[in-house]
Amino acid sequence: MIDIEKLNSIRGKKGYLCDMDGVLYHGNSLLPGVKDFFDWLNKENKEYLFFTNSNSYIPAELQAKLGRMGLDVGVEHFYTSAQATAKFLAKQIPGGTAYVIGEHGLYNALYDVGISIDDINPDFVVVGECKEFNYNHICKASDLVSAGARLIATNPDILDPVENGFIPTTGSLVLPIEAVTGKKAYYIGKPNALMTRTGLKILDIHSSEGAIIGDRMDTDIVAGLETGLDTVLVLSGVSTLKTVEQFAYRPTVILNGVGDIANA
């Protein structure tokens, strides 16, 4: 049963940080109600940022992906954990170096802020999504971390939803490196407040004026709670009602999908 009073409070917010995988789509399939939600955002002149732990693609590619699904979204409405990671590294060591396990979205974000690639003596070992991840990556990364490179992961997500189930992602790939080296990675993406606060700055809203919408209790919802945002859990992705019971905290409201916001 949806709490209508809480849902109306969510609908009254000025802006939204909205996850993508499991909220807007599975793989290349748009989820039910997403078009209604997007039309509602524009009709009500809401501020919004598609705010994702995914780091394989640059914002323009995410824009094109939604475009193929029938959603016309400006590139300024996207922010990824690759961008958040790059921003963090550039602040830690301007002009620093990194050994990178990831896709081009992560590489491009690092290049954009002046981080160069070094597989001999890097400042950082950075782990993101990687379709070609293999044993050699584990060995190389472990050697570099053991030699003093700082271990950074773009996000802690263990898996992502796709059309026919789930696939392992960044959190799964960094685990063997942590096990070999005995060193824990620093995770940049949700639920790290660094990323959430940046999202609020991009939208130019206070946390009391916004809500975060996501499909994961352990990243999206806790990210919102720890930043003072209202939280919306949608059951169209990873977390289920049974999953919710495993956590000591609760979202502000639980919905079947984002279409429930538009069609209340």
CA distances to 21, 71, 100, 209, 220 from 11, in Å: 21, 21, 40, 11, 18
> How many C-beta atoms lie closer than 10 Å to residue 64's C-beta?
14
Give CA–CA dist 196/223, Å, rounded.
7
Q: Is 19 considered catalytic here?
A: yes
Q: Is 260 considered catalytic here?
A: no
Query: Tokens representing 187?
Result: 């995770």
Residues 3, 21, 123, 215: which is the catalytic one? 21
Give CA–CA dist 12/246, Å, rounded.
29
Backbone angles phi, psi at 233, to 5 degrees: -95, 125
Query: Tokens representing 222?
Result: 């806790």
Element (H, E) at 154: none
Quickly count helices (H) and strands (E) in the chain.
Answer: 11, 15
What region, left, alpha or beta, does residue 91 occupy, with left being phi > 0 and alpha being psi -120 to 50 degrees?
Answer: alpha
Nearest to 29 by CA among 68, 79, 73, 83: 68
Task: Return the DSSP state at 21.
Answer: B
The SS3 assignment for 35 reads helix
Catalytic residues: 19, 21
